[in-house]
Chain A
Amino acid sequence: MRSLENEYLRELLVKKGIRYDGRKFHEYRKIEVEEGTVKKAEGSALASIGETKVLAGVKLELGEPYKDAPNEGVLKVNAELLPLASPEFEAGPPGEEAIELARVVDRVIRESGSIKLEELCIEEGSKAWCVFVDIAVINNDGNLLDAATVAAVAALKDAKVPKVEGDEVVRGEFERELPLQFRPLNVTVCKVGKKLLIDPTWREEAVVDAKVSFGIRDDGKVCAVQTYETDGLERSELEKMLRLALEKNGELRRVLGWR
């Protein structure tokens, strides 16, 4: 949508090469992660990138494995763009954006094989742990996917598997850590004019020409790609974005201490 502020912002970016918060084009805002914020959850984390805040909680419940994976635990990822997080989010069931966010984070975690689901089966074919990862966006200042992924993975890192007595979960007592072997990250790269931009704020997201997110594993393997609204990207641009994402992946891990 056209607006004076958006046009001015775009002009700064495209013609003057300036970001309104003074950052360099490839610079992330301050990233902070706090684990164990929610005591009732089996695992939790609050991640913030600049003013974007996302809270993720992990709950483990007893359930049945999927029919086509009888010896594996189950992973379910859900996300909510809470109406309190921004004037744009409305109350009600998850809309398109929330559903997409949840599904991309789910794929990044699932496809990277990060959780050793085989170690979460209790009785083959009938009893397994369901790992629920619920993501709540608390403040939306852009780049929700990157922040949500950090929150979700940090919450999984924090998570412990509770003790079980028969068919009952003994809350508060744990037998082991959640078997997490990888910590994947999402790096969102935007294109504005001819330049590439990292970590867009909410305002910047409204004026970029393209946005692509890459889910990347600890060993540099690509585990998910998601393109958002674009004007159309040239092959070379897409590949440049991938290269930048790989570079940023390394940098993020240093900042988070997730090497």
Chain B
Amino acid sequence: MGRKPPEPLIVEGKRVDGRSPEEMRKIEIKLDVIPRADGSAMFRIGDTIALAAVYGPAELHPAHLREYTSGTLRCRYRLAPFSVDERKPPGMDRRSVELSKLIRVALEPAIFLEEFPKAVVDVFVEILQADGSTRVASINAASLALISAGIPMRDFVVACSVGKVDGHLVVDLCGKEDNFSEADMNFAMMPKLKKVTLFQGDGTVSPEEVRKLLDLAEKSCMKVYEIQRGVLGEKFRE
């Protein structure tokens, strides 16, 4: 990140994959992909595929981790070894630990944890294919899995990535853009309540650009929200 790309990433207003700066990649969603789980969803954006499963609420072990007045949310994010160019050894590396935490931070405000004190809701996300913006794909998949599992929520949680590539402000960075961007930020919000639950990332941007990125992120998240609602609605229309 922050390195100079071998050739310009935006030529005549078109990005490496032909998109315009404010265009997201194609989104595909499938629900109930893991029947054993209490809720599950696959969220695909471009070539990034995130698979999420939710188990719970269930008894939390060990007992000393139980919170007396509130339930616990546990998230685990993992990149499958075959999901990236150079095979990633299985197991949790430091990046996966931080991303697991960020996903939890993004989802927690939407969940009524106080309705299942001393119990735990586990969210497992596996990235089957990584082409940029995996954490926001994870948040989108997890949110749908939580809703499908019947976990009481205040709202959906929708997420997208925004950044600066070749001086342009863009949404939904693909892998190539991710590697050479001047800024790469991840954004999540509760769409009906209009509250931001995650805004993190890095780069070099002016405060004014931060504001513009927030605008772009919010607008794009609302588009993702509409797609998610459509898919959930379909499930109950048989």
A–B interface present (Cβ within 8 A): yes
**A residues with CB within 8 A of B:** 1-2, 68-69, 94, 96, 99-100, 102-103, 107-108, 110-113, 212, 215, 217, 220-235, 238-239, 242-243, 246
Closest residue of chain B to A232 (Cβ to Cβ) is: B195
- A223–B204 CB distance below 8 A: yes
Which residues from A are CB-within-8-Å of B185? 225
Which residues from B are CB-within-8-Å of A112? 204
Closest residue of chain B to A67 (Cβ to Cβ) is: B86
Q: Confirm or deny: B67 has a beta carbon within 8 angstroms of a beta carbon on chain A.
A: yes
- B202–A111 CB distance below 8 A: yes
Given contacts A99-B97, A113-B204, contact A238 B3 (CB under 8 A): no
- B195–A234 CB distance below 8 A: yes
- A99–B2 CB distance below 8 A: no
- B210–A222 CB distance below 8 A: yes
- B194–A111 CB distance below 8 A: no
- B98–A99 CB distance below 8 A: yes
- A227–B202 CB distance below 8 A: no
Chain B interface size, as a band, is: 35 or more
Closest residue of chain A to B67 (Cβ to Cβ) is: A1
Which residues from A are CB-within-8-Å of B1? 110-111
A-B contact count (CB 8 A): 105
Would you give the 0/1 interface string for B180-202, flagging 1 where the beta carbon is closer than 8 Å to chain A? 00000100011001111111111
- B206–A222 CB distance below 8 A: yes
Q: Tell me, rounded to whole Å, the shortest Cβ–Cβ distance linking A193 to chain B.
A: 16
Closest residue of chain A to B206 (Cβ to Cβ) is: A221
Docked complex Cα distance between A226 and B105 (Å): 11
Docked complex Cα distance between A232 and B110 (Å): 8
The 4 closest A-B pairs by CB, nearest first: A232-B195, A111-B202, A232-B109, A107-B202
Closest residue of chain A to B1 (Cβ to Cβ) is: A111
Given contacts A96-B101, A99-B97, A228-B105, contact A234 B196 (CB under 8 A): yes
Q: Pick from B101, B197, B207: contact of A242, CB below 8 A.
A: B207
Q: Pick from A94, A217, A231: contact of B204, CB below 8 A.
A: A217
